[in-house]
Structure 1
């Protein structure tokens, strides 16, 4: 009976990981991640203003959305907590590109997935040209955060 109830409990909770976690503003660093305007961003700039007679120190945080590249900015008190996204990066071998821009990917265990598309713009075009050429296999890096997934970069496999 104990095993049965434990199985139900663990199955109902999923992985147990949260999409975000709180972090003190003073612990954030450039090149780290933070949620700005409800979007997962990589921090590109941080500036702290000195405290004055009208209040405590403030921190200006500028970040770039990791999925869209859009710039976001926020000013927060230095002692506040902000949400930080759990960002998971995974490398896949690029197996195929369909005519509509869909991609077929394979992980290091041999499992495949076909649920992502090439990124729009310059990165997507570069990947397509490299894949269609006679060059070596391509590896793509897929990032997942707050329920979104996208291909963010590529490299030529050295195998």
Structure 2
């Protein structure tokens, strides 16, 4: 009758990490999935309708997590995937073994995010060492998360 090995402990909705959008509706500074990676569109150009009837859209995108450049071409009438992107801000509490302790607005603490291996990561560690109160902006898309920006906390307490 009932399947006893099903796991209902996670609250995943089963929704897709991306939504389809017609290529001609995409815009510069928007987001798109290129070569399986979530990217921000930095360049776009459309070629004329050719002998076989489709205008082609050439796109250049920068991976939002790794900053790698990706290029792709798609007929303007075809669909491309657009990632669901969520940006959250967390207060930095601590850094332990290269992982940040972050507290969200609801008071939940998470310790599963690594300090980025970039100039931003160095800046986070410097500000933490100087005991500055900072907010870390975390971008999440397609099952990945990464700290992308920081800002000084304003004293509202």
Instruction: Note the alpha carbon deviations across 1:31-68, whole angstroms, 9 max, x for none.
Output: 11100000000111111111133542110011010110
Deviation digits for residues 99-137 of structure 1, max 9, x if unmatched?
A: x211000001111000111011211001111221143x1
C-alpha distance in 1 between matches for 2:146 and 2:39: 14
Q: CA RMSD in A?
A: 1.9
Shift of 1:17: 2.6
Segments of 5+ residues of structure 1 without an aligned counterpart are 1-9
Structure 1 equivalent of residue 49 of structure 2: 51
Q: Give the aligned partner of residue 5 of structure 2.
A: none
C-alpha deviation, 1:73, in angstroms: 0.5
1:38 equivalenced with 2:33 (yes/no): no
Aligned residue pairs: how many?
149
TM-score by length of 1: 0.87
Trace 1:8-157 onto structure 2 (pairs within 5 A). 14-98=12-96, 100-135=97-132, 137-157=133-153
State the distance in 2 between where 1:13 and 1:115 align.
18
Gaps of 5+ in 2: 1-7
- Deviation >6 Å, runs of 4+: 10-13
Higher helix share: 1
| 3-state SS, counterpart of residue 124 of structure 1 | helix
